[in-house]
């Protein structure tokens, strides 16, 4: 059984954000990483679908609002430092705005 933590244990950065790694619950593939603020996390919990904070647009966004590729949340875990979320989802389509299944389709070669 997973340990439970409270809201006040979450460690938000100085902009009030926490990174959220989104993983396909059935395949284990990491689909994307996005930022959540308290409002987007609460909205995610209320709706059962992912909501994030866009740092560039400075607004909330619901994943799949324009594409239809929503992500149904199955669980949210917190790492040992309480500063990163792991959101396991059932995706309704590609996670990446490019149409790729995952945002991590490029290999870094130093």
Identify the burial level of 11 via C-beta atoms within 10 angstroms of its C-beta, where 0-12 means exposed, 13-18 middle and 19 or more buried.
exposed
Task: Please give the residue range of the domain that contains residue 27.
Answer: 15-91
The model's pLDDT over 32-80, given as tens digits with 9 standing for 90+, comes to: 999 999 999 999 999 999 999 999 999 999 999 989 999 999 999 999 9
The pLDDT value recorded for residue 27 is 97
The model's pLDDT over 77-96, given as tens digits with 9 standing for 90+, comes to: 999 999 999 999 999 999 99
98 belongs to a structural domain: no
Distance of CA 45 to the CA centre of its chain: 12
Instruction: Measure the CA–CA gap between 26 and 40, rounded to whole angstroms.
Output: 24
83 belongs to a structural domain: yes
60 belongs to a structural domain: yes
Strand positions, DSSP E, 4-106: 18-24, 30-36, 51-54, 59-62, 71-78, 85-91
Confidence of residue 2 (pLDDT cuts 50, 70, 90): confident
Q: Are 13 and 85 in contact (CB under 8 A)?
A: no
103 belongs to a structural domain: no
* Mean pLDDT of all residues in 24-39: 97
The pLDDT value recorded for residue 3 is 87
């Amino acid at each position: 059984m997973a340990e439970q933590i409270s809201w006040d244990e979450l460690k938000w950065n100085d902009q009030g954000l926490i990174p959220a790694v989104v993983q396909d619950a059935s395949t284990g593939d990491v689909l994307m990483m996005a930022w959540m603020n308290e409002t987007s996390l609460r909205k995610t919990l209320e709706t059962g679908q992912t909501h994030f904070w866009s740092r560039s647009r400075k607004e909330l966004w619901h994943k799949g609002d324009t594409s239809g590729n929503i992500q149904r949340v199955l669980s949210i875990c917190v790492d040992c430092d309480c500063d990163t979320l792991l959101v396991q989802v059932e995706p309704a389509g590609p996670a990446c705005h490019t149409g790729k299944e995952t945002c991590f389709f490029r290999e870094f070669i130093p």
